[in-house]
Amino acid sequence: MSYFLPVVYTVSLESFRCYDVNRTTIDRLVLWITGPNGAGKTSWLEALSLFSPGKGLRGAASVDLQKHGAQTPWRVMLSVDGKTGPVCLETHSSDGARKVLVNGVGLKNQMAMRQWVNMIWPMVISTDTTSQRRAYLNRLTFSLDVSYGPLWLRYEKALRQRNILLQQGVTNAMWYEAIEDILSETAALLFQKRTTALARIHTAVKGHITPFPQPQCGMQGDAEASLSNDPSGSHYRQVLGQNRGQHRLKKTTSFGLHKTRFLLTHPNGREWGVCSMGEQKGLLLSLALALFRLCLNDQPDVVHFLLLDEGMTHLDEHRAAWLWDELLVLAGRDVGSGPGGASGMVVVTGTGGDAPACVAHWKTPPSF
């Protein structure tokens, strides 16, 4: 098997985090970036993660991505040859917001990037909050089912409209009913897609033996209980109607899928948040590998990137060696199968260590 790409991909950074200008070209399926703390490894990985909807790997606002003292707004570009041909994606800061272009044409929605590339990374251990977990559940589901994205936007729009009514103290029942119809209908569809995605992940994890623990994924919340008992969303809608008065006092909608808690449980029965660091790392890697594997199988026309920040940290020698082998197999499985070559690419960062000779190794991301 050849681990060199039939075509290369290029990443360019300008005024981004610690970088003035950085342009790097990668010709291998797996890239291993090492260097001391503060060398810019995670920032380079974060730049790649911005080619997906949302705020990227660190969840940072656009203004926080700007290099201190830089005179020009930050900009990141990714050029890659996919199965459908060459494409150049760009995301940059514009008046404090993040804009996205493909081949020089602006996109109205960040989710449109998913036609060409898909960025996958594990849930970040240092930011274990309910909102971060929920964001990961949304990304996981969207990776497997692109129709989930527009539905979630529809849900969020209706939720904002209902919250505005609550904050203004509006009591007109007809206004609430119209919005709650949309919320309940959309929530039922979203819950179905989340449930299907987690079922597929469960099957993928169980069907592939690894040295990492097999996580059990689940969802917890009042909305989940409602939709589990009544998948049509009728009860969900009734709960919204019955709680308008309480929600007006709180000035926000405190019931719904936007309050979901994503659960990740170790085979020993402990929830992810109370597991040891090594157990947490194993669960997250097992989940990310299963998702990457499913995406490669389902969507061969999309270039899938697996981003592993400090990917080998907290792993013993046996597990690290297994992971390198698995990454090479996963990334190389589709080489040469289409006009654009590979559909899977992996980037791993770390402060040091060894990697197989066929892996491209940078001591720090070169800048020129």
The whole-angstrom separation of Cα 150 and Cα 61 is 22
246 plus 282 within the same structural domain = yes
132 plus 273 within the same structural domain = yes
106 plus 145 within the same structural domain = no
Q: Give me the residues of the chain with pLDDT under 50, please.
A: 1, 334-341, 367-368
Q: Indicate the number of domains in the chain.
A: 2
Which residue, 254, 271, 297, sits at the end of a domain? 297
153 plus 271 within the same structural domain = yes
| Residue 117 CB contacts under 8 Å (≥ 6 apart), including other chains | 51, 52, 78, 80, 82, 89, 302, 303, 304, 305
108 plus 224 within the same structural domain = no
328 plus 360 within the same structural domain = yes
185 plus 232 within the same structural domain = yes
The whole-angstrom separation of Cα 366 and Cα 257 is 43
Note the pLDDT of residue 199. 98
The whole-angstrom separation of Cα 367 and Cα 11 is 11
164 plus 56 within the same structural domain = no
Residue 40 belongs to domain with CATH number: 3.40.50.300
Residue 170 belongs to domain with CATH number: 1.20.1050.90
The whole-angstrom separation of Cα 327 and Cα 331 is 6
Note the pLDDT of residue 331. 82
H helix runs in the chain, sequence order: 41-49, 130-144, 148-167, 173-206, 222-229, 234-242, 244-250, 277-298, 317-332
261 plus 315 within the same structural domain = no
Which residue, 297, 327, 355, sits at the end of a domain? 297
Single pTM value for the model: 0.93
Which residue, 266, 297, 328, sits at the end of a domain? 297
Domain boundaries, position 53: 1-116+302-368
162 plus 272 within the same structural domain = yes
135 plus 153 within the same structural domain = yes
174 plus 109 within the same structural domain = no
242-258 tens-digit pLDDT: 999 999 999 999 999 99
